[in-house]
Amino acid sequence: MISESTALDLGYLSIATAGRQLGEGSLTATSLATALFNRIAVTDTSLNSFVRLMQESAMAEAAAADERARAGRRLGPLDGIPIAVKDLYDTAGVVTAGGTAAFNERVPNEDATAVRRLRAAGSVILGKTNTHELALGGTTNNVYYGPTHNPWRLDRVPGGSSGGSGAALSGGQALGALGTDTGGSIRIPAAFCGVTGHKPTYGLVGRGGVIPLSLTLDHAGPMARTVEDCALMLTALAGPDPRDLDSAMREGEDYAAALDGGISGLRFAAIPSLVEGCTDDVRASFERSLDVLRSLGATITVCEPMAGYDDWRAATATLLVTEGAAYVESILRERPQAIAEPTRTRMSHGLDVSGTAFVRALEARKRIESRFEAALTEHSLDAYLLPTSPNTAGPIDADRYTDAAPPTVFRNTSVFDLSHQPSLSVPNGFDRDELPTGLMISGAKFADALVLRIGHAYQQATDFHTLRPTF
């Protein structure tokens, strides 16, 4: 039996460090997986990160990874690494419910493309993490599986909708995780839980076998403790996906290869209208982050790609509910009680959106993409910088499983779902209640390697990503 202290230490290894130890033979995949399952058993009564564990198959995957390691045939840096999977990603033979009773008996025949790619890289799939119902919300207060708790303060939300993945990482229950991001659902939990999350360029990571919310806005991507870990995961995840009609059908690259290139001479811009309205503590963390980046040789200016244009706010809501309702239309019409409130009501509104309103929302999205891409070129910018969220994690409302997140939570993140550009959140401080804050770095389409390089440079100069909650 692995001790609780050993399980704690192993649970907070980075993927890169664990991969090196597995390669050297100083750590085995079976001992690592065993330690994490032990830790999950001890901590998940407090966190409720997981809705379904896959222990038998995970231990078999770990044993296979150990056999490869002994034979000198490791598949790469993810071989033997324990990964948690958001309960929107299909896992062959294992229920994928999307956080709703409507799908509580839904057992897919094959893995989602992202899960298949991770398994091909040797990853050990630990289980399925909690999500806001059908991914439509920012708290991960789930009426069927219960709320997920933030490891930094158990009375606070972890963010949503990938809150289970964020809490699992923050709580030392997994070394990496899959999330999805439609309005900020990778980056908000990353910021609220003090971990790292990357929303790749739209279409770079295939969504085949992922329960959709909005096909126009949905992004699949990695969450981990560090930028380097996200880069290692993205290297395995990126690539063509014939099952995703919006796949970029573009080969990925080695996203970790250029991480150490530094940022001296790069030029970044804050967006004043999206910094305005942040809490004092969030803004203070952001200003300190700018100072760090300046000290590394970057130039920071300001830019307003959205000047005089406000339609983007309504566009996000219209696309979310209309496309979300289209996926579950038969359920909403024939057995609506299978979807809980308030998701049912919000989705039902999507059935009444006119074709004209939907087309205008699509046009607004394209306008945002055009403006944000053009501004980078016109102002000779390498990236945009913003606080990930204007506020930190709010309290869990234990009596009603509503999306109790303030309406501003997704304000900064959702812009980059509309623009389809890569966007990364890294931990950058704490507020006065000792809740994490996040720095968001976003760049041009398919400049994922550059965005990750900037985040890595920031993490090399700071230690927020190394800190652990004491729940």
Q: How does DSSP assign 129-157, residue by residue? A: E--SGGG--SS-EETTTEE--BTTBTTB-
For the residues 289-295, what does the mean pLDDT come to?
98
Catalytic hit among 14, 49, 185, 214 = 185
Query: Please, are residues 409 and 459 in contact by the beta-carbon 8 Å criterion?
Result: no
Catalytic hit among 14, 57, 86, 214 = 86
Confirm whether 46 is a catalytic residue: no
Query: Please, are residues 81 and 176 in contact by the beta-carbon 8 Å criterion?
Result: yes
> What is the Cα–Cα distance from 420 to 443, expressed in whole angstroms?
10
Q: Which two tokens stand for residue 267?
A: 């030029």
pLDDT at 4: 53
For the residues 185-194, what does the mean pLDDT come to?
98
CB proximity list for 352: less than 8 A, separation 6 or greater:
none
pLDDT confidence bin for 399, thresholds 50/70/90:
very low
Q: Which two tokens stand for residue 257?
A: 């290869």
> What is the Cα–Cα distance from 416 to 369, expressed in whole angstroms?
8
Helices (H), 71-204: 113-120, 163-170, 187-193
pLDDT at 312: 79
Query: Please, are residues 119 and 125 in contact by the beta-carbon 8 Å criterion?
Result: yes
Strands (E) located in 396-435: 423-430
Confirm whether 86 is a catalytic residue: yes
pLDDT at 308: 78
pLDDT at 150: 98
Q: Is the pLDDT of residue 401 over 50?
A: no
> What is the Cα–Cα distance from 201 to 248, expressed in whole angstroms?
9
Catalytic hit among 14, 57, 123, 161 = 161
> What is the Cα–Cα distance from 173 to 109, expressed in whole angstroms?
27
pLDDT confidence bin for 307, thresholds 50/70/90:
confident
Q: What CATH number was assigned to the domain covering residues 4-308+358-466?
A: 3.90.1300.10
> What is the Cα–Cα distance from 398 to 155, expressed in whole angstroms?
9
